[in-house]
Chain A
Amino acid sequence: MTRYIVKRLGTSLVTLLFVILLTFVLMHSVPGGPFAQEKEAPPEVLDALNAKYHLDQPLVVQFFEYLGGLLRFELGPSFKYTGRTVNDFIVNGAPFSMRLGLITLVFVLIAAIPMGILAARRNGRWPDAVVMIIATLGITIPSFVAAAGLMYVFAYRLNWVPTFGLDKPTSYILPVLALGGYSLSFLARLMRSSLLEVMGQDYIRTARAKGLSEVRVITRHALRNAIIPVLTVLGPTVAGLLTGSFVIEKIFAIPGMGSYFVDSVTQRDYTTIMGMTTFYAAFLITMVFVVDLFYRLVDPRIELG
């Protein structure tokens, strides 16, 4: 187990390094720069700016300087907001983004799994049909369309919840629904089909042949087996919620990291792009790692090592 964790940490670092390198190369191959503006600045000013931010040095040197900063957990100053560092953006934005993401994840899990179970147990009858209709809508409607629709009906027309910000507990309702809609639908469908498949397995017949009650057959034998595919997609689901939050944060004017990220790309704010990407990548790699460890707890057939 320890060996596995050490090994995984090693591969995670390599993955992260590749992400950083790739982002760096792509970013610098896109035309324009952080100081390019409609009104040409005098060349002396540009030179001075470039020198200040070390942009006059060869790319290789810049890259290694950046890595050196990373080791000290310094993501560098923002090129656009003078006097502020990328660390500031993350420290300020992360709590909002993380809270929204976490609430959405918990909501998705506690709603999707029972929905899937209900649909599978009432297969072909009306509860199944209702769940499947909701799930199909959730998968086909893009989150930004759903967000606008929800906002129009529940915030503007009915005035039940605030339109933007995260000031009140009710403020979370619409962003969570818009952000989690896709994952909720996907996981509910997956849980349904997985449980249906498991219920046809031989070991379920064995459990019934023992004279176990249907409740025990499902809780002791079917659910644990059926949850495995759901666990498998949990890593990508977390990724989806995180990247999805860029758009949702923008629409609901939530001061999370997403809005900084989107702006930083259009403005070629090099350090912010790099810092955000690295932070997200590190977070995702950690989440996938945690999911893999969970996987081992549920399924004894999986050997880690």
Chain B
Amino acid sequence: MESLLEVRRLRTTFRAGRSRHDAAVQAVRSVDFQLGRGETVGVVGESGSGKSVTALSLVGLLPKTALVEVDKLTLDGASISHLSRRQLRDLRGRRIAMVFQDPMTSLNPLMRVGRQIDEMISAHDRRLTRRERKRRVIGLLAEVRIPEPEKRYNSYPHEFSGGMRQRVMIAMAMALRPEILIADEPTTALDVTIQDQVLRLMRRLQGESGTSILLITHDLAVVAGMCSRVIVMYGGLIMEEAPTTSLFAQPMHPYTIGLLGSLPALRQGQSDRLDSIPGAPPDMTAPGDGCPFAPRCKYARVRCERALAPYYAVADGHRSRCWLLDAAAPGADSPFGEADGELRRKVVPLDD
């Protein structure tokens, strides 16, 4: 697949206090990934794993206390890592649009929703007249299935339900047919039935416009339904990346295994107990040299605490950052099950 967005060695740190000597929070430590044209990639991980910060870093939407460094950041082959503020503004909304988690607070309560969508168009296209824009906005509202769009154009956000507001956010984000849509937990604040509607809407619009979606979520069910590829983040690092089917069938990182184990099983006959991953998320001010997951990992060895593992290629497009995949690791009580020996023969360390 043609690569649309390419990110190499993205690092984002937050200054904790005024002074230069205050400990900085290393929210994203080194992240690289690609997003293909028309592709949907999921980014999963628990709160504080750096997934939202990764997304906001890409479009320069973090507060001034954040320092974003990146070795390579290209959109459609052209670097977007050193854009001026003006160039970055031109890119935001037009080429990379965003949908946020909480539709209750993401819309301005004092502005009519039609006007809020209109702003997206007027900010980037000065040729259209007010009337032409209004017609387009009404068309967009109809597209996201808001009933009576002409009337609803003049409504305020508080007159909409949560699901409708999120559809307004999507209409706004898709108004200029962006190349990339970053959806940061778009369904987390919604009822399960509404979640499905919103996801379906995103898929339909994607089908029509060919937009690539970077879907940030902690809900693996959403990933299973939407994404062709998944990135698993922990402690500001990508732990595992794989095509969705391989990740669910053969997770190759203890953290991913833990995540999958914490999913409730709806089928009968399986264990009633919901597994959880013991321990707390890592201290991001002093991450140390080892694997950030090591303190919570029941397979952790001395080596895991001393150094961070490189990526190992498990299969095509499937990589994992775990010492257990090293050829020298002992096979006994492996988390990867019976297939372990056979798998490990195929595992190749990747250059980091």
> A residues within 8 Å of B by Cβ?
124, 201-203, 205-213, 216, 220-221, 224-225, 298-301
Contacts and interface: CB of A to CB of B under 8 A. Distances in A.
A200 to B, nearest CB: 8
For the complex of A and B, list the 10 residue pairs with the smallest distance between their C-beta atoms, beginning with the closest.
A211-B93, A211-B92, A202-B105, A210-B93, A203-B108, A209-B98, A211-B89, A202-B106, A300-B156, A210-B120
Contacts of A213: 89, 123
| Residue with the highest number of chain A CB atoms closer than 10 Å, among B97, B110, B119 | B110
Contacts of A205: 61, 100, 106
A202 B102 contact: yes
A4 to B, nearest CB: 19
A209 B108 CA distance: 13
Contacts of B105: 201-203
Contacts of B106: 202-203, 205-206
What range describes how many residues of B lie at the interface? 20 to 34
B172 interface: yes
Contact of B158 (A202, A216, A301): A301
Given A213-B89, A220-B119, A300-B156, A203 B97 contact: no
Nearest to A298: B110
A292 to B, nearest CB: 17
Nearest to A212: B123
B183 to A, nearest CB: 12
Nearest to B120: A210
Contacts of B59: 209
Nearest to A224: B110
Contacts of B120: 210-211
Interface in B26-51: none
Nearest to B96: A209
23 contacts: A124-B18, A202-B100, A202-B102, A202-B106, A203-B105, A203-B106, A203-B109, A206-B100, A206-B169, A207-B119, A209-B92, A209-B97, A210-B119, A211-B124, A212-B89, A213-B89, A216-B123, A225-B108, A298-B110, A299-B109, A300-B158, A301-B109, A301-B158
A300 B119 contact: no
B61 A208 contact: yes
Contacts of A124: 18
A202 B169 CA distance: 12
Given A203-B106, A216-B123, 11 more contacts: A202-B105, A206-B106, A206-B107, A206-B108, A207-B108, A207-B119, A210-B92, A211-B123, A213-B89, A221-B111, A298-B110
B90 interface: yes
B110 to A, nearest CB: 5
Nearest to A227: B110
Nearest to A206: B106
Interface in B272-287: none
Interface string B143-163: 000000000000010100000
| Residue with the highest number of chain A CB atoms closer than 10 Å, among B18, B61, B108, B172 | B108
B93 A221 contact: no
B94 A211 contact: yes
| Residue with the highest number of chain A CB atoms closer than 10 Å, among B97, B98, B109 | B109
B141 to A, nearest CB: 16
Contacts of A206: 98, 100, 106-108, 169, 172
